[in-house]
Amino acid sequence: MATIEFLKSAKRQFQYYKSLGDKAMAQIEDQDLNWLPNDETNSIAVIVKHLHGNMLSRWTDFLTTDGEKPTRQRDAEFDNDISGREAILQTWEEGWKCLFDALESITDDDLNTIIYIRNEGHTVLEAINRQLAHYPYHVGQIVFVAKMLRNHSWESLSIPRNKSNDYNADKFSQEKGVRHFTDSELKK
Protein backbone atom coordinates (compact mmCIF):
# COMPACT_ATOMS: atom_id res chain seq x y z
CA MET A 1 0.00 0.00 0.00
CA ALA A 2 2.80 2.44 0.85
CA THR A 3 4.38 1.73 -2.55
CA ILE A 4 1.20 2.64 -4.37
CA GLU A 5 0.82 5.83 -2.34
CA PHE A 6 4.45 6.82 -2.91
CA LEU A 7 4.18 6.28 -6.67
CA LYS A 8 0.90 8.16 -6.80
CA SER A 9 2.46 11.09 -4.93
CA ALA A 10 5.61 11.04 -7.08
CA LYS A 11 3.54 11.08 -10.29
CA ARG A 12 1.52 14.03 -9.00
CA GLN A 13 4.71 15.92 -8.18
CA PHE A 14 6.17 15.24 -11.62
CA GLN A 15 2.86 16.24 -13.28
CA TYR A 16 2.81 19.45 -11.27
CA TYR A 17 6.32 20.46 -12.30
CA LYS A 18 5.65 19.52 -15.91
CA SER A 19 2.56 21.76 -15.80
CA LEU A 20 4.67 24.66 -14.49
CA GLY A 21 7.01 24.25 -17.45
CA ASP A 22 4.04 24.00 -19.84
CA LYS A 23 2.49 27.18 -18.46
CA ALA A 24 5.77 29.11 -18.45
CA MET A 25 6.57 28.20 -22.06
CA ALA A 26 3.02 29.08 -23.13
CA GLN A 27 3.57 32.65 -21.92
CA ILE A 28 6.54 33.44 -24.15
CA GLU A 29 7.02 34.07 -27.86
CA ASP A 30 8.38 31.29 -30.06
CA GLN A 31 11.74 32.98 -30.68
CA ASP A 32 12.19 33.51 -26.94
CA LEU A 33 12.46 29.76 -26.37
CA ASN A 34 16.06 30.04 -27.63
CA TRP A 35 16.93 33.31 -25.85
CA LEU A 36 20.21 33.23 -23.95
CA PRO A 37 20.46 35.75 -21.10
CA ASN A 38 24.27 35.33 -21.16
CA ASP A 39 26.94 32.85 -22.22
CA GLU A 40 26.70 30.83 -19.01
CA THR A 41 22.92 30.48 -18.94
CA ASN A 42 20.89 27.95 -20.90
CA SER A 43 17.94 28.84 -23.07
CA ILE A 44 14.61 27.20 -22.38
CA ALA A 45 15.15 25.08 -25.50
CA VAL A 46 18.47 23.83 -24.12
CA ILE A 47 16.94 23.02 -20.74
CA VAL A 48 14.20 21.07 -22.54
CA LYS A 49 16.85 19.16 -24.54
CA HIS A 50 18.76 18.34 -21.37
CA LEU A 51 15.65 17.14 -19.51
CA HIS A 52 14.68 15.06 -22.54
CA GLY A 53 18.12 13.46 -22.74
CA ASN A 54 18.14 12.75 -19.03
CA MET A 55 14.61 11.31 -19.00
CA LEU A 56 15.24 9.01 -21.97
CA SER A 57 18.54 7.85 -20.52
CA ARG A 58 17.30 7.34 -16.98
CA TRP A 59 13.91 5.78 -17.69
CA THR A 60 14.34 3.64 -20.83
CA ASP A 61 14.81 0.03 -19.70
CA PHE A 62 15.62 1.43 -16.26
CA LEU A 63 15.27 -1.91 -14.46
CA THR A 64 17.77 -3.69 -16.70
CA THR A 65 20.26 -1.12 -18.03
CA ASP A 66 22.36 1.65 -16.52
CA GLY A 67 20.57 5.00 -16.35
CA GLU A 68 23.42 6.68 -18.21
CA LYS A 69 23.00 5.09 -21.63
CA PRO A 70 26.06 4.81 -23.90
CA THR A 71 24.00 6.43 -26.68
CA ARG A 72 23.35 9.57 -24.63
CA GLN A 73 25.19 12.65 -25.86
CA ARG A 74 24.92 14.75 -22.70
CA ASP A 75 27.31 17.51 -23.82
CA ALA A 76 25.30 17.98 -27.03
CA GLU A 77 22.18 18.54 -24.92
CA PHE A 78 23.62 21.95 -24.10
CA ASP A 79 23.93 23.10 -27.73
CA ASN A 80 21.27 25.71 -28.48
CA ASP A 81 20.37 24.04 -31.78
CA ILE A 82 16.75 23.02 -31.40
CA SER A 83 14.34 25.66 -32.61
CA GLY A 84 10.69 26.11 -33.31
CA ARG A 85 8.00 25.75 -30.69
CA GLU A 86 6.68 22.53 -32.24
CA ALA A 87 10.07 20.76 -32.14
CA ILE A 88 10.80 22.00 -28.62
CA LEU A 89 7.41 20.93 -27.28
CA GLN A 90 7.63 17.58 -29.04
CA THR A 91 10.99 17.00 -27.33
CA TRP A 92 9.50 18.11 -24.00
CA GLU A 93 6.51 15.76 -24.32
CA GLU A 94 8.62 12.79 -25.43
CA GLY A 95 10.84 13.06 -22.35
CA TRP A 96 7.92 13.31 -19.93
CA LYS A 97 6.11 10.42 -21.66
CA CYS A 98 9.16 8.21 -21.15
CA LEU A 99 9.20 9.09 -17.44
CA PHE A 100 5.45 8.59 -16.92
CA ASP A 101 5.45 5.29 -18.85
CA ALA A 102 8.30 4.05 -16.66
CA LEU A 103 6.50 5.09 -13.48
CA GLU A 104 3.36 3.27 -14.64
CA SER A 105 5.39 0.09 -15.11
CA ILE A 106 6.69 -0.04 -11.54
CA THR A 107 5.23 -2.73 -9.28
CA ASP A 108 5.37 -3.18 -5.52
CA ASP A 109 8.27 -5.56 -5.98
CA ASP A 110 10.31 -3.01 -7.97
CA LEU A 111 10.60 -0.15 -5.50
CA ASN A 112 13.49 -1.68 -3.57
CA THR A 113 15.18 -3.13 -6.66
CA ILE A 114 18.71 -1.84 -7.16
CA ILE A 115 19.22 -0.01 -10.45
CA TYR A 116 22.32 1.80 -11.61
CA ILE A 117 23.16 5.30 -12.75
CA ARG A 118 26.79 5.54 -13.85
CA ASN A 119 27.46 2.26 -12.00
CA GLU A 120 26.15 3.69 -8.72
CA GLY A 121 23.42 1.56 -7.21
CA HIS A 122 20.12 3.15 -6.21
CA THR A 123 16.85 1.61 -5.21
CA VAL A 124 14.10 2.52 -7.65
CA LEU A 125 12.66 4.67 -4.86
CA GLU A 126 15.97 6.55 -4.54
CA ALA A 127 16.19 7.00 -8.32
CA ILE A 128 12.70 8.50 -8.36
CA ASN A 129 13.61 10.84 -5.49
CA ARG A 130 16.82 11.82 -7.29
CA GLN A 131 14.82 12.89 -10.33
CA LEU A 132 12.18 14.60 -8.17
CA ALA A 133 15.00 16.92 -7.14
CA HIS A 134 16.64 17.21 -10.56
CA TYR A 135 13.64 17.92 -12.82
CA PRO A 136 12.05 20.65 -10.64
CA TYR A 137 15.47 22.34 -10.46
CA HIS A 138 15.46 22.70 -14.24
CA VAL A 139 11.75 23.52 -14.47
CA GLY A 140 12.49 26.36 -12.04
CA GLN A 141 15.10 27.61 -14.50
CA ILE A 142 12.52 27.51 -17.31
CA VAL A 143 10.09 29.48 -15.17
CA PHE A 144 12.76 32.01 -14.20
CA VAL A 145 13.86 32.64 -17.80
CA ALA A 146 10.23 32.96 -18.95
CA LYS A 147 9.53 35.33 -16.07
CA MET A 148 12.52 37.50 -17.06
CA LEU A 149 11.24 37.63 -20.62
CA ARG A 150 7.66 38.51 -19.68
CA ASN A 151 8.59 40.89 -16.88
CA HIS A 152 5.51 42.93 -15.92
CA SER A 153 3.19 40.88 -18.15
CA TRP A 154 4.08 37.62 -16.37
CA GLU A 155 1.05 35.66 -15.15
CA SER A 156 1.91 34.01 -11.86
CA LEU A 157 2.02 30.24 -11.75
CA SER A 158 1.49 30.11 -8.02
CA ILE A 159 0.29 32.66 -5.48
CA PRO A 160 0.43 36.09 -7.16
CA ARG A 161 2.47 38.82 -5.52
CA ASN A 162 0.60 40.50 -2.64
CA LYS A 163 -2.17 37.87 -2.76
CA SER A 164 -0.97 35.49 -0.02
CA ASN A 165 -3.64 36.60 2.44
CA ASP A 166 -6.40 36.07 -0.13
CA TYR A 167 -4.98 32.67 -1.04
CA ASN A 168 -4.74 31.57 2.59
CA ALA A 169 -8.23 32.88 3.36
CA ASP A 170 -9.60 30.76 0.54
CA LYS A 171 -7.69 27.65 1.71
CA PHE A 172 -8.74 28.08 5.34
CA SER A 173 -12.38 28.62 4.31
CA GLN A 174 -12.41 25.04 3.05
CA GLU A 175 -13.13 22.11 5.26
CA LYS A 176 -10.12 20.15 6.49
CA GLY A 177 -9.49 17.11 4.41
CA VAL A 178 -6.86 14.78 3.05
CA ARG A 179 -5.95 15.97 -0.41
CA HIS A 180 -2.83 16.61 -2.41
CA PHE A 181 -1.84 20.23 -3.01
CA THR A 182 -1.53 19.48 -6.74
CA ASP A 183 -5.23 18.57 -7.03
CA SER A 184 -6.26 22.21 -7.35
CA GLU A 185 -3.00 23.40 -8.97
CA LEU A 186 -3.19 20.98 -11.89
CA LYS A 187 -6.73 22.14 -12.74
CA LYS A 188 -5.56 25.70 -13.40
pLDDT at residue 4, rounded to an integer: 81
From the list 132, 185, 183, 136, the residue with the least C-alpha distance to 158 is 185
pLDDT at residue 181, rounded to an integer: 76
Q: How far apart are CA 128 and CA 10, in angstroms?
A: 8
Query: Which residues fall within 8 angstroms of residue 96, CB to CB, at 6 or more apart?
Result: 14, 18, 55
Domains of the chain: 2-158 (1.20.120.450)
In this structure, the dihedral spanned by the alpha carbons of residues 140, 59, 96 and 28, taken in order and rounded to 10 degrees, is: 40
Q: How far apart are CA 182 and CA 188, in angstroms?
A: 10
pLDDT at residue 170, rounded to an integer: 82
List per-block mean pLDDT (blocks of 10 residues) for the chain, which spans 188 residues.
84 97 98 94 97 98 96 96 96 98 93 95 96 98 97 92 86 83 66
| Half-sphere CA count of 168, side-chain side, radius 13 A | 4
From the list 54, 32, 51, the residue with the least C-alpha distance to 43 is 32
Say what the pTM is.
0.92
From the list 129, 98, 94, 97, the residue with the least C-alpha distance to 111 is 129
pLDDT at residue 178, rounded to an integer: 80
